[in-house]
Each structure stands twice: as structure tokens, then as C-alpha cells.
Copies of this chain bind each other. A is one copy, B any other.
């Protein structure tokens, strides 16, 4: 059960209500009027609670769960204990998310714009938007409705859509790393663009997004960015992308829709990463990547090629060891 010091739970709901709001089906034998009081992980759930199963690693936890109800795919249903009421969903994790949101809706502070925030008189903040303590919002910045700007975030030179979340400590809109190299002293190139963040995007804690040099830096609708990510000037990121922690994207690179960049990936500047590309953790991208490809490694290769490389090296090392043993 969530700590009531930090989280406020809504009243119980029955299985029928939960199925409806989560797009799941009640499995045969489950009672639609069964009352559910809370969500919980498989291994700690107890009577009255609903859990979910979506990763085969956790099958033992499913088999021994004491949850009253569980959301899972039809294929996984046979692994659940016989007494568990099942909600069947093609997207069990999404269904669980909707159930959990119903029990624990987002809470807003009573005073939306903290008196300890520093919002410039020439900034525009939309209705329902929360600005936490210590956030600094510069002149001319526009923020849409129902956004949340985290504590100590710093935003300048930016236009932000609706339902955007900026986490604590983010730096958005500062001028990027643009200069002409000169031994007598690098010469700064004025950075004359902005940062555009489209509706529904999320920007993680302590992430940095530099404003454009002339064009804008753009974060597309519904793209989610994790903590400690670096986005260089003029980068354009499409819709629905997922950018995991500590990724770095160099200036002027274009990332198409629905790209997934795993943790600590680095991407050089002036590249194009096609729609739906998936990049494995710690990869380093130095060339364009065509749409739909999966790549891995530094420098990155298509994932099958990289796997062959790893297997070849492992064979060679084993061979070397065997030779040594035979000669020894």
C-alpha cells in the first residue's frame, strides 16, 4: 500500500468499473461486483488489491501472488493462481497504468504558482499549470495549460504546449555550445532560436535542452525524455519518442517519430535517425540510421551484425585459451 503520508487514495472500485476504465475484459469466473481497494506489486499484494503481470521474469511472483485480482494478457492467464480474479488485456501494463491512475490521480498543490517561484512579469502561464518553488521562468516564455514545472527548473527562450511536464532542475532555453574555435579565444555565435516543446511531452530531472542557433530546438508531441539528458541546439525530435537517461544528442540532429534511445546513447551532430529506430544502451551513432533499424555498439552497427561481432570475439578468445592450454 502506498504511504499515505505522500499519496492519497480514492475510494474502492469494483472489477466492472476497473475493466471499463482500463480497456480490459473480465475473465470467465470473475465477479464484476468484486470490490478492489488498491493496487500493489505481485509479490506484496494482498486481499482486496489488484496487480499486473507483463514481464516473464516475474512469473514466479505471479504464480504465488496473493492479489485478489490481476491484469494480464489472455496468454498468461493459465499461470495465475486459480482463485485470482483476472482482467484480460492486450496491453496489461497500460491497463494497469489506467487503474493505478484511477486510485491515485495526480495531485495539484492548492496554490498553483508557488510564491517561491520566479516567474518573469513578461511570461505567460496557462490555466491549471503548476509552477513549483525555485523555478525560474524568463521573459517571453509561454507555457500552456495543465503543465507542471518542477522545483528549481530554469526556462528561458521557450514556447511550451499543454500538458507538458518539466521535472525539477531542468535547464531549458540557455544558449547552446555554438562558437567559432579560435586559439586567441573562441568566438560566441549568438543563439537566436528558441525551444519548442509540444503538447504532452515530459522532460526529466536535471535534463538540459539548449535553444536553437537560428532554427528552433523542437521536442515533439508526446515525446518523453528521462533525467540528465543533453539535447543540443537545433535538434528536432519527433512525436512519441522515448529518450532514456543520460543520452546526449548533438546539435542539428533530426530524430523522427517513435524513436527509442536507451540509456547513455550518444548521437553525433547533423544526423538523421529514421522513424521507429531503436538504439541499444551506450551506443554511439556517427551516421544516419534508416527508419525501422535496430542498432547497437559504439560505433553503432545493426544489431545482428553487432551480435556476430561479439560472438566472433568470444570464439577467438576461447580458441586462444585452448591453444595456450594445448601448448602449455
- Say whether, besides A187-B97, A240-B183, A154 and B168 are in contact (CB < 8 Å): yes
Residues 303-322 of A at the B interface (beta carbon under 8 Å): 305, 308-310, 312-313, 316-317, 320-321
| CB pair B227 A181 closer than 8 Å | no
Contacts of A206 in B (CB 8 A): 169, 171, 206, 208, 228
- Say whether, besides A168-B171, A204-B208, A214 and B246 are in contact (CB < 8 Å): no
Contact for A299 among B94, B114, B150, B310, CB less than 8 A: B310
Q: Is A215 an interface residue (CB 8 A)?
A: yes
Give per-residue flags for A160-172: 1 if the beta carbon is below 8 A from chain B beta carbons, else 0.
0000000111010
| CB pair A227 B208 closer than 8 Å | yes
| CB pair B154 A187 closer than 8 Å | no
| CB pair A100 B180 closer than 8 Å | no
| CB pair B104 A192 closer than 8 Å | yes
Give the nearest-CB partner of A54 in chain B. Answer: B180
Give per-residue flags for A188-204: 1 if the beta carbon is below 8 A from chain B beta carbons, else 0.
11101110000010001
| CB pair A266 B264 closer than 8 Å | yes
Q: Which of A26-34, A36-44, A75-83 contacts B (4 or more CB under 8 A)?
A: A36-44
Contacts of A44 in B (CB 8 A): 214-215
Residues 269-328 of A at the B interface (beta carbon under 8 Å): 270, 281-282, 284, 286, 298-299, 305, 308-310, 312-313, 316-317, 320-321
| CB pair B181 A270 closer than 8 Å | no
| CB pair A150 B157 closer than 8 Å | no
Residues 91-137 of A at the B interface (beta carbon under 8 Å): 91, 93-94, 96-98, 100-101, 103-104, 106, 114, 116, 118, 132-134, 136
- Say whether, besides A169-B154, A228-B228, A309-B317, A101 and B55 are in contact (CB < 8 Å): no
Contacts of A157 in B (CB 8 A): 6
Give the nearest-CB partner of A94 in chain B. Answer: B180
Q: Is A226 an interface residue (CB 8 A)?
A: yes
Which of A57, A154, A240 has the largest number of chain B CB atoms within 10 A? A154
Q: Is A144 an interface residue (CB 8 A)?
A: no
In the docked arrangement, what's the CA distance between A194 and B1, Å?
A: 12
| CB pair A214 B39 closer than 8 Å | yes
Contacts of A93 in B (CB 8 A): 180, 189
Residues 222-277 of A at the B interface (beta carbon under 8 Å): 222, 224, 226-228, 230, 232, 240, 242, 244-246, 248, 250, 258, 263-264, 266, 268, 270
Min Cβ gap A248→B in Å is 5
Contact for A171 among B55, B167, B286, CB less than 8 A: B167
Contacts of A185 in B (CB 8 A): 200, 222, 240
In the docked arrangement, what's the CA distance between A137 and B185, Å?
A: 27
Closest 6 CB pairs of A and B: A94-B180, A2-B192, A171-B205, A154-B168, A5-B140, A136-B151
**20 A-B Cβ contacts within 8 A?**
A2-B192, A6-B156, A101-B190, A106-B190, A118-B133, A134-B152, A136-B151, A136-B168, A179-B224, A185-B200, A186-B240, A210-B227, A228-B228, A230-B246, A246-B248, A263-B266, A264-B266, A305-B317, A308-B321, A309-B316
